[in-house]
């Protein structure tokens, strides 16, 4: 009996050592894949994910005026009128005019032919639907002339190559050598910290649109939009240096993943903490209900992550999960 107990203790010890030395598992998500990032709160400034172009355009109603939506489609026309942009978006249910009242990130270049997701409010005037009052634009995929297979040009698909393609179609004037260095650094840092590349890349795209020189009105800097105090706490000396910024960004995400790993909706809690701060999220026990920006932020990143994973499957890109 004692010999059996000793053997059992040895087995348990070996199992513990194996688990300690093995890579940590990816962030578990107990919610359905299509549900974890959808806003669970409602409000005039929170995106309504259920009011799709098909649902609204089949039966336009005035009660949806000023409702915030995220509509996906292909840009048929992009015009710049002074400092304002106009898009004609071909959605699944018809063409929708979109007007932007101020300069908008991702519209610095002609985006005709791009597949995009536009955040905007339904414009209902004079008894009918006028279009969307655009607020922001997420680039999903460029025209066929610059699709991933065209960029790939016979090379073996890789996660770094895929990320480099995305950086370049956001910022077509950036030097390819710098883009490739950034893409490879992101892949390496995600692998080293056992982070899902698709989630981390989506976060960075929403934060900065891959602009290494991005500075927000609040002072957040670089690819991961690190605030100066946050950057300093993460050991980042220059947040506008893309490699240093990625080091700080992935370290912060990894810390948040560890903190929320056992939560009921860990992905959402990680993203909410990155956006609004872990102290606030912890005090609310999860996503803060009255913070529309945070709820939308989670939705946009989850939406983009889902699209990235679909493209990765379509083009046989390894290593995004």
Instruction: Report, as residue numbers or ranges, the catalytic residues.
Output: 207
Find, among 89, 94, 87, the residue nearest to 54 by Cα.
94
Please report the beta strands in the chain, taking only residues with DSSP state E, as ranges in sequence order.
Answer: 68-81, 84-91, 94-100, 115-125, 128-141
SS3 97: strand
**Residue closest to 153 by CA, chosen among 163, 141, 166, 165:** 165
CA-to-CA separations, 72 to 45, 49, 60, in angstroms, rounded: 19, 11, 18
3-class secondary-structure state, position 255: helix
Chain centre distance of CA 286: 19
Contact 98, 132 (CB under 8 A): yes
CB 76 within 8 A of CB 112: yes
């Amino acid at each position: 009996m004692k010999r059996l107990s000793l053997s059992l203790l040895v087995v348990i010890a070996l199992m513990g050592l194996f688990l300690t030395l093995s890579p940590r598992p990816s962030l578990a998500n107990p919610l359905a894949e299509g549900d974890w990032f959808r806003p669970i709160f409602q409000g005039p400034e929170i995106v309504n994910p259920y009011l799709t172009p098909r649902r609204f355009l089949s039966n336009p109603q005035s009660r949806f005026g000023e409702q915030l939506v995220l509509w996906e489609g292909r840009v048929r026309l992009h015009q710049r009128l002074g400092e304002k942009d106009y898009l004609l978006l071909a959605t699944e249910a018809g063409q929708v005019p979109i007007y932007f009242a101020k300069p908008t990130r991702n519209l610095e270049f002609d985006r005709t032919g791009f597949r995009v997701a536009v955040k905007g409010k339904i414009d209902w005037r004079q008894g009918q639907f006028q279009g969307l009052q655009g607020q922001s634009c997420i680039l999903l995929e460029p025209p066929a002339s610059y699709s991933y297979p065209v960029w790939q040009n016979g090379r073996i698909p890789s996660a770094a190559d895929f990320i480099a393609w995305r950086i370049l179609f956001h910022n077509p004037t950036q030097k390819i050598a710098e883009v490739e260095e950034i893409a490879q650094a992101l892949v390496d840092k995600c692998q080293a910290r056992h982070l899902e590349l698709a989630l981390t890349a989506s976060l960075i795209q929403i934060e900065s649109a891959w602009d290494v020189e991005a500075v927000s009105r609040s002072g957040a800097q670089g690819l991961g939009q690190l605030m100066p105090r946050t950057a300093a706490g993460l050991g980042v000396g220059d947040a506008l240096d893309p490699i240093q910024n990625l080091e700080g960004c992935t370290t912060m995400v990894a810390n948040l993943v560890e903190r929320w790993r056992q939560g009921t909706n860990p992905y959402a809690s990680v993203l909410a903490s990155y956006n609004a701060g872990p102290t606030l999220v912890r005090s609310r026990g999860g996503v803060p209900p009255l913070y529309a920006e945070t709820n939308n932020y989670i939705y946009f990143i989850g939406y983009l992550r889902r699209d990235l994973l679909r493209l990765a499957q379509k083009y046989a890109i390894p290593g995004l999960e």
